[in-house]
Structure 1
Amino acid sequence: MDDFERLRGRLFGIAYRMTGTATDAEEILQDAWLRWQDVDVSSVQNPDAYLAKVVTNLSIRQLTSARARRELYVGKWLPEPVLTGRAEFDALGPLEVVAERESVSFALLLLLERLTPAERAAYVLHEAFAYGHREVAELIGTSEANARQLASRARKRIADEPRRERPVDRAEWRKLVERFLAAAQSGEIEALERVLAEDVVTTADGGGEVTAARKQVIGRERVARYVIGTLQRFGAGIEPYLIEANGGPALAAALPDGVVAICFIETGPDGLTDLRFVMSPHKLRYAIGQLSRIEGLSDLSW
């Protein structure tokens, strides 16, 4: 097997964790593959390190460019979902232990957005892929001392960010989400409020392509009214499905002709704390492509 194909999963994993979008990760891999074709492979002593360096630096360049574009983004920007939990959904490789799942969790990808591109590269390479600081330095083109400092600074910045989510008990998560769905679909505002935390936050990413709130909706009563109002206006024919995405449980909303939203729902001691709706068709394209490999959403289970 060609070295590039052997390493494809690892390379995609680096690019996705770096950029937060599967679309960018695929483009980075395509660019890296073209560069690989121009290389005299016999002269490359360590293809693993060589290709990891190419992908890392392409990711840094892409992330730097993306930062400027996101300043003009319509509404709130959210990462791009990747379906996980089945052999057919192997883009991110096996997510068999908690640390592996957390490294692609939606909540962490959002926190990584707070880092500089260099900090993000050092953090991803060291924490998610277990590269030593000397190896990280070689991959991003800096000194070992600076690579160590970048990783340390990134860890501190992430640790200092307030995180409201807690480890997911899937049975409890499912119970809460089913109560949320029942109340939302029935239009019972008081019942819906009972499953929401007082300071619950809803974020919707429509990317200017579909109707979505451009600002976050905050607070139990406002979120309950927003969710029910949105379903009453746009929810006709939508079916909810419980799926796994980014290593954890998520909710997919689908019409007969396809998925229209994937929602990541965080829970806390007092109920649902964060509802993050990815609704941009552009950002759903990768997950929809993954779904084409199986019978459909009804075939998913977790």
Structure 2
Amino acid sequence: MGADATEVFEQHRPFLEGVAYRMLGRVADAEDVVQEAWLRWSAADRGEVREPRAYLVRITTRLAVDRLRQIQARHEAYVGPWLPEPLVTDTRAEPVPEGADRALLSESVSLALLVVMESLSPLERAVFVLREAFGFPHAEIAAALGRSESAVRQLAGRARRHVDERKPRYEVNARQQRDLTERFLEAALGGDLGGLLDVLAPDARLVADSGGRVKAPRRVMHTADKIGRFMAAIAEEGRDPRFTYTMQEINGVPAVLASWEGEPYGTILVDVADGRIQTVYIINNPSKVARLAVSEPS
């Protein structure tokens, strides 16, 4: 393997991982797909490859579509709600490919959008990610998927309508999001029901993903009152001194990372609209949070 081939692949690796994660919603699966793409690249006759990025996108996208078909079947047997694996992000530093929009690129890693994309077919999801998040032309997507351009346009339109119909309209204001997240955590740890009701919208939802492996609600919880009472009831457990809490950017928004004796335990993210928390996401499936890096308290 020549140094040039390795350098070319490593130059594109962050971009390929970004595509694969948005399609699959799981870091481990995305890394596996990109590693398989590397093996295909290393074995290819690169003298026949005129555009390395297009070639690598084609390999990665097709591998991700195949993997998505496998993991969607896996989700059917999942215990409790399924949420994407949380991803520590710095959307300001992520490279923006030509034709892409940074705001859309950032939105495309949000939990709310990734959850909606779960209901798309694998091909629709591939087209949506390449078109909406990364700004690929229809013709280039068609080449990547081995489909006609007209078929890709139909897939893109269907996926866009589906997402528009189901995606909640949340505000993306990092300062407000951080403030409400911190207030939610403070009230929850203090068992302060009134404080929780102040930050939660009356019809708020709580979605917890534990995979059935640790304690968490196994159904979506509705209304601020029920969520507040639940969080207040477990306040003492959360105050155990072996827990620490830090703020990090996760999936494009300020979020809480909870650690147990220095190891990642779970994360709390919120969606915000009209100055209130509309949805609380709690992810504490050990297999999903193990890769989160614990930073110093902030």
Same fold (TM over 0.5): yes
After superposition, residues 1-302 of structure 1 pair within 5 angstroms as 1=4, 2-85=7-90, 93=95, 97-168=102-173, 170-233=174-237, 235-237=239-241, 238-269=243-274, 271-288=276-293, 291=294, 296-298=295-297
How far off is 1:165 after superposition? 1.8
How many Å separate the matches in 2 of 1:246 and 1:192? 23
Following TM superposition, by how much is the alpha carbon of 1:172 offset from its aligned partner in structure 2, in angstroms? 2.2
CA separation in 2, counterparts of 1:259 and 1:186?
22
Which whole-Å CA distance do the structure 2 matches of 1:193 and 1:107 have between them? 22
Deviations 1:239-278 (A, max 9, x none): 2222111222111112232221111111122621111011
Q: Is the 8 A contact 2:181 2:269 kept in 1?
A: no
Deviation at 1:70, TM superposition (A): 0.4
Identify the range of structure 1 (243-252 vs 16-25) with the bigger mean alpha-carbon deviation.
Answer: 243-252
- The separation in 2 between residues aligned to 1:108 and 1:59, in whole angstroms, is 18
TM-score (norm 1): 0.89
Query: Structure 1 residue runs of 4+, over 6 Å off?
Result: none
Alignment gaps of 5+ in structure 2: none
Could you tell me which amino acid in structure 1 is paired with residue 147 of structure 2? T
| 2:166 aligned partner, one-letter code | E
CA distance in 1, matches of 2:205, 2:265: 21
Please identify, of 70-79 and 276-285, the stretch whose mean Cα deviation from structure 2 is larger. Answer: 276-285
Question: Structure 1 residue 106: deviation in Å?
Answer: 1.8
Residue identity in the other structure for 1:146:
A
| Aligned residues between the structures | 289
Shift of 1:100: 2.2
Q: Using structure 2 for the length normalisation, give the TM-score.
A: 0.90
Cα 1:253–1:79 change in 2 (3 A) is: same
Structure 1 residues not aligned, in runs of 5+ = none
- Paired with 1:260 and 1:241, the residues of 2 have a C-alpha distance of 12
Question: 135-144 or 32-41: which moved more?
Answer: 32-41
Two-structure CA RMSD over aligned residues (Å) = 2.0
